[in-house]
């Protein structure tokens, strides 16, 4: 059972759209609250893409987003996380647990004005906070079924991805497979403690693995999934 003591925990979840980030985050937070005694609940934060990516969307759409704008936004988010964790750290009985839905890795891919060199200082700041990086990874067929076909009628595909990333389902699959491959490279570059979870495993198993990784008091190491990435599997 993960530690329920006073240590703050920060988990960043990254990966291609449609592979289960939001579902995993929702399940992790609900399970944490349901399985932690009432007197031990302190600050619980689930930071959605509304805050981590949404503020950039308008300037992405009209092509006015600059590197400086994007970095300023990332700095605002990370300063907020630093404030939350630093405040909890000053009170030994206080715990702050935070889950973040996408951040600087995604920003290297979409909107695409940044590269790893730009965000590496952000990554180091997150690592210094004890942040853990969870990459949800999937096979090409999983991306086809979940990212493209299952979301064909959604605003994400119709209003955002279609035309921008390709004009046919096959073209969109190819784009998101390339994005998955780029996530793998960025994951390897990160200084954070990290783990890979395959999107193909059962939902409850995915949530349980993410929760254990988030709250385990021991120093974690990259899972066997990280080695699989290096081998191209």
**Integer Cα distance of 131 and 32 in angstroms:** 17
Mean pLDDT score of the chain: 87
CATH code at position 182: 3.40.50.300
In a domain, 159, yes or no: yes
Domain membership of residue 1 (yes or no) is: no
Q: What is the pLDDT of residues 52-65, one digit of tens each?
A: 999 999 999 899 99
Number of folded domains that form the chain:
1
Q: What pLDDT does residue 215 have?
A: 84
Q: Given this model, what pLDDT does residue 186 score?
A: 97
Q: Strands of 43-47's sheet, edge to edge?
A: 43-47, 96-101, 9-15, 132-137, 193-198
Q: Which residues of 24-63 are buried (b: 16+ CB within 10 A; e: fewer)?
A: bbebbbeebeeebeeeeeeeeebbebeebbeebeebbeee
pLDDT given for residue 231 in this prediction = 31
The answer to whether residue 61 is domain-embedded is yes
The sign of the dihedral angle between the CA atoms of 199, 201, 202, 206 is negative
Residue 107 has what pLDDT?
A: 97
Look at residue 19 and tell me if it is in a domain. yes
pLDDT at residue 39, rounded to an integer: 65
pTM beyond 0.85: yes
The Cα 135–Cα 74 span in angstroms is 19
- Does 2 map to a domain? no
Range of the domain at 227: 9-231
**Per residue in 177-220, pLDDT tens?**
999 999 999 999 999 999 999 999 999 999 999 999 998 866 54
Tens digits of residue pLDDT in 71-109: 999 999 999 999 998 876 555 555 788 999 999 999 999
Average pLDDT over residues 24-39: 89
């Amino acid at each position: 059972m993960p530690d329920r003591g006073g240590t703050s925990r920060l988990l960043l979840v990254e990966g291609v759209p449609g592979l289960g980030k939001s579902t995993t985050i929702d399940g992790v937070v609900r399970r944490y609250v349901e399985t932690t005694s009432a007197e031990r609940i302190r600050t619980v934060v689930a930071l959605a893409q509304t805050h981590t990516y949404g503020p950039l969307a308008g300037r992405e759409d009209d092509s006015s987003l600059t590197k400086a704008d994007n970095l300023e936004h990332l700095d605002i988010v990370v300063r907020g996380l630093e404030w939350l964790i630093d405040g909890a750290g000053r009170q030994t009985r206080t715990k702050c647990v935070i889950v973040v839905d996408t951040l600087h890795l995604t920003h290297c891919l979409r909107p695409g004005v940044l590269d790893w060199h730009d965000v590496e200082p952000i990554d180091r700041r997150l690592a210094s906070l004890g942040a853990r990086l969870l990459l949800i990874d999937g096979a090409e067929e999983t991306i086809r079924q979940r990212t493209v076909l299952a979301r064909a009628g959604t605003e994400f595909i119709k209003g955002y991805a279609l035309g921008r990333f390709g004009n046919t389902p096959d073209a969109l699959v190819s784009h998101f497979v390339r994005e998955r491959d780029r996530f793998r490279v960025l994951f390897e570059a990160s200084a954070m403690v990290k783990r890979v979870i395959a999107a193909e495993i059962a939902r409850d198993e995915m949530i349980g693995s993410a929760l254990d990784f988030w709250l385990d008091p021991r120093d974690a190491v990259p899972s066997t999934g990280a080695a699989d990435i290096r081998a191209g599997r």
